[in-house]
Amino acid sequence: MADVVLKNVQKSFGRVKIIHGVDLDIRDGEFVVFVGPSGCGKSTLLRLIAGLEDITAGELFIDGERVNDLVPAKRGIAMVFQSYALYPHMNVYDNMAFGLELAKSSKAQIDAKVREAARMLQIDNLLDRKPRQLSGGQRQRVAIGRAIVRDPKVFLFDEPLSNLDAALRVQTRIEIAKLHSDTRATMIYVTHDQVEAMTLADRIVVLNGGRIEQVGTPLDLYHRPANLFVAGFIGSPQMNLIACEVAGVGPDEVLVSLPSGGTLSVPVAPETLQPGEAVTLGVRPDHVRVSPQGSLTGRVELVEELGENHLLYVDMGQGRRLTIREPGDARHEAGSTIALEIDRTSCHLFKASGEALPSRAGSPRPAPSSPDLTRVA
């Protein structure tokens, strides 16, 4: 069990800087998930922690020890790769035993550990098979088993489930969660999948362009995105972002004039905001309602039925589009004109710099229906 501390960690490949100074404090036993757009450096950061890449500048501590100059095997980590990376010429047993054998464990000890891990992962009947005789899901279990037998202080996962089909992904995800609750080991997990991130993580780290945008619990990120990037990245469908202008400021609210006319009072601290400044209003699709009393009107462009809820894509004029999610089946057809109402207490307001203004609405209300967090590519 160990904490992982990154102090201004940087990484360059040749002259190109990929990681621009990351500070991160991962507590003992915590499950941390790295998310971010493709190419933002998630894998690179994970590989820096693993020791598969050299840290260009900064310091990395695992369990209080500075490990910058240690080879992966000395860091007390284990890693599960997206491609499984099993040794093709060894059977399942030997795949799991290889690390222990190199660590000069006794035969009996190796055998006990391998069999226990195999039992835990329900692959004990596959021990004699070669990796090519296994299905994708079984391969991934072997890869996880290989990590478990090392008794690592920190587990590292790089998109371990992305090669699996949807059903297997859910099942293996649950098993990883169980593994975490059983072992209480620190786990760092890279994924593209928001559901994985939201369900597995104690805390999520949102990366963008080699920098941390925000670190927080899943609900923190969902309800209190620190900036426009996180607001747009977390949540599916994406938060509606509307360019507005400040019309007036109160002590605990900001009045914004909407592009389609009308104003909206958003309960956020105005800080140094002045009337006339450009801001971005953010509102999740769940917080816009179709309502005859609504002050906004638009024309439904497209309806997507999802069963438990439905999405309306509404043209608000001048090419601006709003996404709305309503429970149940759609009651409006494409082409019809509807009136809309924005739940002002659930709105976010972002300064021109992209930073969010602190909310004054008290604790956020839960979303009307559970957000459908589908995978974003």
Ligand X SMILES: Nc1ncnc2c1ncn2[C@@H]1O[C@H](COP(=O)(O)OP(=O)(O)OP(=O)(O)O)[C@@H](O)[C@H]1O
**Which CB sits closer to Mg ion, 93 or 189?**
189
Which of 2, 131, 1 is CA-nearest to residue 61? 2
Q: 102 with 87: CB under 8 angstroms? A: no
Q: Does 16 bind other proteins (CB under 8 A)?
A: no
How far is it between the farthest Cα atoms of the chain? Answer: 76
3-state secondary structure (DSSP) of residue 347: coil
Residue from the set 9, 18, 43, 311 that interacts with Mg ion by CB under 5 A: 43
Q: Which of residues 62-121 bind ligand X (CB under 6 A)?
A: none
Cα 115 to Cα 122: distance, rounded to the nearest angstrom: 10
Which partner in ligand X, other proteins, Mg ion, none is near 73 (CB below 5 to 8 A by kind)? other proteins
Q: Which of residues 149-168 bind other proteins (CB under 8 A)?
A: 150
| Contact pattern from residue 159 through residue 198 relative to ligand X, giving x for each residue in contact according to CB under 6 A and a dash for the rest | ---------------------------------x------
Give 239's DSSP letter: P
Residue from the set 9, 31, 33, 42 that interacts with ligand X by CB under 6 A: 42
From the CB of 65, what's the least distance to other proteins, in Å? Answer: 11
Q: Does 39 bind ligand X (CB under 6 A)?
A: yes
Q: 197 with 173: CB under 8 angstroms? A: no
* Burial grade of 260 (CB within 10 A; 0-12, 13-18, 19 or more): middle
Which partner in other proteins, Mg ion, ligand X, none is near 68 (CB below 5 to 8 A by kind)? other proteins
Which partner in ligand X, other proteins, Mg ion, none is near 44 (CB below 5 to 8 A by kind)? ligand X
The one segment of 15-23, 43-51, 247-255, 294-302 that binds Mg ion by CB under 5 A = 43-51
The one segment of 36-44, 133-141, 180-188, 295-303 that binds ligand X by CB under 6 A = 36-44
Residue from the set 33, 44, 194, 197 that interacts with ligand X by CB under 6 A: 44
Ordered strands of the 263-266 beta sheet: 263-266, 254-257, 240-249, 278-283, 348-350
- State the residue number with the nearest CB to ligand X: 43
CA distances (Å), 292 to each of 64, 266, 310, in order? Answer: 60, 21, 19
End-to-end Cα, the chain, rounded Å: 33
The dihedral through the CA atoms of 148, 152, 154, 160 has a sign that is negative
Residue from the set 4, 35, 41, 246 that interacts with ligand X by CB under 6 A: 41
Residue from the set 5, 32, 43, 78 that interacts with ligand X by CB under 6 A: 43
DSSP per-residue string spanning 261-304: S-EEEE-B--TT--TT-EEEEEE-GGGEEE-TT-SEEEEEEEEE
Q: Does 122 bind other proteins (CB under 8 A)?
A: no
Residues that bind other proteins (CB under 8 A): 50-54, 68-73, 77-79, 81-89, 98-99, 102-103, 146, 150
